Copies of this chain bind each other. A is one copy, B any other.
Amino acid sequence: MAHRINMKDIAREAGVSVATVSYIINKRSDQSIAPDTVARVNEAIKKLGYVPNLGARALANRKTRLIGLVIPQAETGSRMMLENSFYGEFIAVLEEVLRQSGYSLLLSGEDVNKSYVELARERALDGIVVVGLPADQDARLLLEENIPLVFVDSYLEGNAYSSVNIQDEEGGYLACDYLIKNGHRNIAFVSGFLTQEGVNRKRFRGYGKALSENGIGEKEEYVLSGRISYSYGIEAGRQIAAMKVRPTAVFATADILALGIMRGLKSEGLRVPRDVSLIGFDDGFLAMSAEPSLTSIHQDAGQKARVTARLLFAQMDKGAACIENLVLPLSLTVRDSVRRI
């Protein structure tokens, strides 16, 4: 390995002590150093191409400038489903905002059985963003350790944590209500796993509320849940096509599921919206690019990422006094996948 320029080299080049170099590099304000000494040291830094090792610096002033983005996996041994375009945009915007503020993003699709508290400790993360997690033990542990923390799309008890959510229940209501207003009464619901409290359960509750307000009974066989992926969507679409009393409309809690459903229905000779109406959730570019284009509940993934960064920075600056719980609004984007019957 080539010799790595260190403070000793700078000190030798500038003709000052290593301590002086360290004071200048770490911008310590508790020591006054003559301006020409500072200039000499900065010149030496430039000449030798010195770059501080953030790992070493982290030990000195307890900052790593590393932010963890943890996307816990719903199943053991699985990988992140970044084909869901919501994640793509959220990650890209968060990375951009952090980078512009001098932070790096550590991305982890943590296994559901592994503790992200361990990751936070091992990496001495300056902050951590967790996407899509139900209330759990780990959250309390992180709180005790005072690690700046923002939960996104997570439903935790109490308001001890900063969080960014969308109006999931209202979104489910909005979608189902729109289908009912278009004459549909047999409406299927397709989502990610409903086993734990979380965004899928909330959206399901909104769906149920719209049904009951309109005097429509929930049918168990119309509720399908699995992995939020294109391939599970195809499977769900085929199942719906085979139902004895076939739903005339489907609400999918993610556009990527809706695209799969469209394909699954088509493989059984059914067309959207001619035979089955379909509404998605997220309204990213997948909804636009679908054919027919997909009516969908719109959320702004970029805004979500920016707000998340803001809440995290606030805690990093001012500590736990800055806990905030934000719920971002949703809206309905009408396109071509729902037919009035």
A residues lining the B interface (CB < 8 Å): 1-2, 4, 51-56, 58-59, 64, 66, 79-83, 85, 87-89, 91-93, 95-96, 99, 104-111, 118-119, 121-124, 144-146, 230, 259-260, 262-263, 284-286, 288-292
Q: A82-B88, A96-B79, A122-B53 are in contact. Are A107 and B109 (CB under 8 A)?
A: no
- Residue in B66, B82, B259, B291 whose beta carbon sits within 8 Å of that of A82 in the complex: B82
6 A-B pairs closest in CB distance: A82-B88, A291-B291, A79-B96, A80-B92, A51-B121, A259-B289
Other A-B contacts than A79-B92, A230-B289, 7 sampled, CB-CB below 8 A, are: A51-B122, A55-B64, A79-B95, A80-B91, A95-B109, A230-B288, A260-B289
CB of A253, distance to nearest CB on chain B (Å): 17
Residues of B contacting A1 with CB < 8 Å? 145-146
Interface pair B107/A105, CB less than 8 Å apart:
yes
Residues of B contacting A106 with CB < 8 Å? 66, 104-107
Residues of B contacting A83 with CB < 8 Å? 85, 88-89, 284-285
User: What separation, in Å, do the CA atoms of A121 and B2 have in the docked complex?
Assistant: 12
User: What separation, in Å, do the CA atoms of A80 and B97 have in the docked complex?
Assistant: 12
Q: A2-B144, A230-B289 are in contact. Are A108 and B99 (CB under 8 A)?
A: yes
Residues of B contacting A108 with CB < 8 Å? 95, 99, 104-105
Interface pair B122/A109, CB less than 8 Å apart:
no
- Residue in B56, B107, B289 whose beta carbon sits within 8 Å of that of A59 in the complex: B56
The residue among A85, A93, A285 with the most chain B CB atoms within 10 A of its own CB is A285
The residue among A58, A95, A289 with the most chain B CB atoms within 10 A of its own CB is A289
User: What separation, in Å, do the CA atoms of A302 and B58 have in the docked complex?
Assistant: 35
User: What separation, in Å, do the CA atoms of A105 and B291 have in the docked complex?
Assistant: 36
Interface pair A104/B88, CB less than 8 Å apart:
no
Task: Write the chain B residue with the least CB distance to A146.
Answer: B1
Q: A104-B108, A105-B106, A289-B290 are in contact. Are A55 and B52 (CB under 8 A)?
A: no
Residues of B contacting A118 with CB < 8 Å? 51
Residues of B contacting A288 with CB < 8 Å? 230, 263
Residues of B contacting A58 with CB < 8 Å? 55
Residues of B contacting A4 with CB < 8 Å? 121, 145
Residues of B contacting A55 with CB < 8 Å? 55, 58-59, 64, 123-124
Interface pair B80/A95, CB less than 8 Å apart:
yes
Task: Write the chain B residue with the least CB distance to A284.
Answer: B83
CB of A266, distance to nearest CB on chain B (Å): 8
User: What separation, in Å, do the CA atoms of A182 and B263 have in the docked complex?
Assistant: 26
What are some 19 contacts across the A-B interface (CB < 8 A)?
Answer: A2-B145, A53-B122, A54-B123, A55-B55, A55-B124, A59-B59, A81-B92, A82-B92, A83-B85, A83-B285, A87-B88, A92-B109, A99-B109, A99-B111, A105-B107, A106-B107, A230-B288, A263-B288, A263-B289
